[in-house]
Amino acid sequence: MNAPATPPSPYSASTRDSKVESHTLSVLVDNEPGVLARVVGLFSGRGYNIESLTVAEVAHAEHRSRITIVTSGAPETIEQIHHQLERIVPVRQVTDLTIAKRSLERELAMVKVRGRGDNRNDALQLAEAFRARVVDATTESFIFELTGRPDKIDEFVDLMRPIGLVEVSRTGVAAISRGPDPI
């Protein structure tokens, strides 16, 4: 007897026939216990993926925090995520920065690279080209600090692999809309 097939997640079902897009969502929430768990629970309960997640208080007096989420899916999936986030009680505002307005995205990474001789020189030259700062150095390794768009950080990490990449630590995406008006 065959076991019943596991139904696909809503995420995989909706992306099968549509183009997968990456979107950055800004979620303004009341700063109270359990809010992040509810937001993350929405994603895990429905099989959506979170590619990046950052959270910080942005208005102390109003007890507000901003959750910045990078996720991907078909346009219908992104729209569904947006509407489901809006229904969570402590959520005040959800903005899809990818489509609503022009926005800036930045991420911070620390990249540890092992290297001696020519590899050491190559690592320093690449770091200079990417405007990465040396924040720690020993005779056998460097730790570089790099900020920029996520794809810039990906490229830097990929170039460091053959030189002697040891490990990477990334903060996740922080994003904000351009211009004088708030989102």
Shortest CA distance to 131 belongs to which of 152, 159, 100? 152
pLDDT at site 41: 95
Assign 78 a pLDDT band (cuts: 50, 70, 90): very high
Assign 16 a pLDDT band (cuts: 50, 70, 90): low
107-161: per-residue pLDDT in tens? 999 999 998 889 999 999 999 999 999 999 999 999 999 999 999 999 999 999 9
Angle between helices 150-164 and 118-129 (to 10 degrees): 170
Residues 71 and 40: their CA atoms lie apart, in Å, by 12
pLDDT at site 51: 96
58-75: per-residue pLDDT in tens? 999 999 999 999 999 999
Domains in the chain, ordered, with CATH?
Answer: 10-96 (3.30.70.260), 103-176 (3.30.70.1150)
